[in-house]
Amino acid sequence: MLTCSRLVSWVGVTAKRTGTESTVAKWASNQNNNNRLRAGPGPLHLSALRLLDPTMTRRHKAPLAVALAGAATFGLGVALPLINAQRRLPSRRQPRPLTSVDGRTIRVIIPAYLESKVIGQTVRRLRAQLSVHGPAGSSVLVVASDPATALAAAEGGASVISAPREGKPAAINEGIRACRGNVVVLTDGNAQITPDDWPALLLEDLRAASLVSGNKQQLGEQESGYWAYERMAKGAGRKDPLSDSIALIGEFVGFRVEDYEPIPKGTLVDDIVIGMSFDSRGLRSVVDRRITAAEEGVGMAQQFERRVRIAAGLLETCLPALPSLLATTNGRSLVFHKVYRQTLGALGYWVMAGSVCLVAPPWSAIFALAGVAASALPYLRPNAPVPKWVRALMEGAALQVVPPFAWLRVLKRWVLPASPGWKKVAR
């Protein structure tokens, strides 16, 4: 078969014989250049070499530049929380004086719905911890929205308030009304709080702050890289165990009951709303890195729904309050830590992925799409033998699927305010 390169060689030999080398050489050079620019994809290494070719056209350079800009935007969202965790921006306000916690009891409030299989064990574990490390008279209160959960909580030794199902914020508000004079801890029906002496640590922390939270851990390998990053973003490695932050976890939030303001009905991220409420009034909020609340991992579909719901709630809550958040140290930290990566950070990632597809198609598109698909491995096979740093990169890429769906949910709620909420899975 006569290929273009063989044709050029044949013409060159013929030119030598006829004495027309200069004219034919110019023609052959043009043919080779055109062949290089117009050729099909060819082997992967040849496609890569074309990117380094000085004759590469603007058609290739433009998407490459856009991809680099997207990567920088995405990378900034990863780096900002880590930088901010080690060096805080100056605050514009001072916390107000703290009231004493001496002589107060601790009351743990658990808003629970369809938790009958786990609530009893959780209540018994909390009561054992409070009896040894908490003030005398400390107790557990469950605000139950279904009969089976109420019965299981009572059998575990908790005080029980039966309430209609009006959402978690309404259940928390109902429980708070029954806790005059106490230090309150909010947690979930399946959370495992460690260490056992967390009640003593909480009272110690409340002598320096008004609101105390902890770190979260998901048992097993699911999202282990993500939670390791979260711990770093909250100051892991610093000598002081307390880090100023309103990026709380709903599985452990402690405060004096008189500092609490009711959570508005329909709130999707109650922990963030509580943190913003305290911060707006000049009350110090901290994360104690010695305290951890752990939960069992869930299925991929359920975890994805949880991520989308939390991200949508974060966007609905924080975007309207952006000017006030940027006015405080903890507010800026929340923007750097949470809001940026659900907005500009995610946009940068998808701009980068889309632009890479256009740099040297089709191989660049195959490469980009394969990378996006491979990032789902930690969710499809949580126990796969993958190095931790590789798992962290994969999880970070996979989580970029969440913001687009969260934005769709936010838009749906704006257009259809009465749209149904998420469906609780019994546990």
In a domain, 331, yes or no: no
Instruction: Look at residue 124 and tell me whether its pLDDT is greater than 70.
Output: yes
- Write out the two tokens for 310: 């939390």
Which region among 113-122, 204-213, 360-369 has the lowest average model confidence (pLDDT)? 360-369
At residue 236, the pLDDT reads: 66
Q: Which is higher by pLDDT, 107 or 94? A: 107
Give the CATH number of the domain where residue 194 resides: 3.90.550.10
Q: Exposure of 178 by Cβ count < 10 A (0-12 exposed, 13-18 middle, 19+ buried)?
A: middle
In a domain, 140, yes or no: yes
Instruction: Look at residue 189 and tell me whether its pLDDT is greater than 70.
Output: yes
Mean per-residue pLDDT of the chain: 82
Alpha-carbon gap, residue 15 to 18, rounded angstroms: 5
In a domain, 402, yes or no: no
Which residues form the domain of 280?
Answer: 106-305
Alpha-carbon gap, residue 313 to 316, rounded angstroms: 5
How many structural domains are present in the chain? 1
In a domain, 367, yes or no: no
At residue 390, the pLDDT reads: 78
At residue 212, the pLDDT reads: 96
pTM across the whole model: 0.80
pLDDT over 70 percentage in the chain = 79
Buried b (16+ CB within 10 A) or exposed e, 62-101: ebbebbeebbebbebbeebbeebbeeeeebeeebeeeeeb
Over residues 386-404, the pLDDT tens digits come to 777 777 778 788 889 899 9
pLDDT over 90 percentage in the chain = 46
Over residues 362-383, the pLDDT tens digits come to 888 888 888 777 777 776 776 7
Whether the CB-CB separation of 249 and 297 falls below 8 Å is answered with no
- Length in residues, the chain: 427
At residue 37, the pLDDT reads: 43
In a domain, 341, yes or no: no
Q: Which is higher by pLDDT, 357 or 185? A: 185
In eight-state DSSP terms, residue 401 is G
Phi and psi at residue 193, to the nearest 5°: -90, 130
Q: Which residues face 108 on adjacent strands? A: 140, 185
At residue 49, the pLDDT reads: 47
Q: Residue written as tokens 């989580």?
A: 399
Alpha-carbon gap, residue 305 to 109, rounded angstroms: 25
Say what the alpha-carbon torsion angle 200, 205, 206, 211 is, to the nearest 10 degrees: -120
Q: Write the CB contacts of 237 (distance below 8 Å, at least 6 apart in sequence).
A: none
Average pLDDT score over residue span 411-425:
68
Instruction: Look at residue 39 and tell me whether its pLDDT is greater than 90.
Output: no
In a domain, 214, yes or no: yes
In a domain, 383, yes or no: no
Amino acid at position 172, single letter: I
Q: Which is higher by pLDDT, 134 or 41? A: 134
Whether the CB-CB separation of 128 and 189 falls below 8 Å is answered with no
User: What distances in angstroms separate CA 267 from CA 102, 317, 411, one per listed residue?
Assistant: 33, 8, 16
At residue 53, the pLDDT reads: 53
Q: Which is higher by pLDDT, 201 or 373? A: 201
Q: Which of 262, 107, 100 is nearest to 182 (CA)?
A: 107
Average pLDDT score over residue span 87-94:
51
Q: Exposure of 318 by Cβ count < 10 A (0-12 exposed, 13-18 middle, 19+ buried)?
A: buried
Over residues 78-89, the pLDDT tens digits come to 888 888 776 654
Q: Write the CB contacts of 232 (distance below 8 Å, at least 6 apart in sequence).
A: 82, 85
Q: Write the CB contacts of 124 (distance below 8 Å, at least 6 apart in sequence).
A: 156, 157
In a domain, 338, yes or no: no
Whether the CB-CB separation of 249 and 213 falls below 8 Å is answered with yes
At residue 7, the pLDDT reads: 44
Task: Give the DSSP letter string of 223-277.
Answer: THHHHHHHHHHTTTT-SSSEEE-S--BTTBEEEEGGG--PPPTT-S-HHHHHHHH
Instruction: Look at residue 3 and tell me whether its pLDDT is greater than 60.
Output: no
Amino acid at position 21, single letter: E
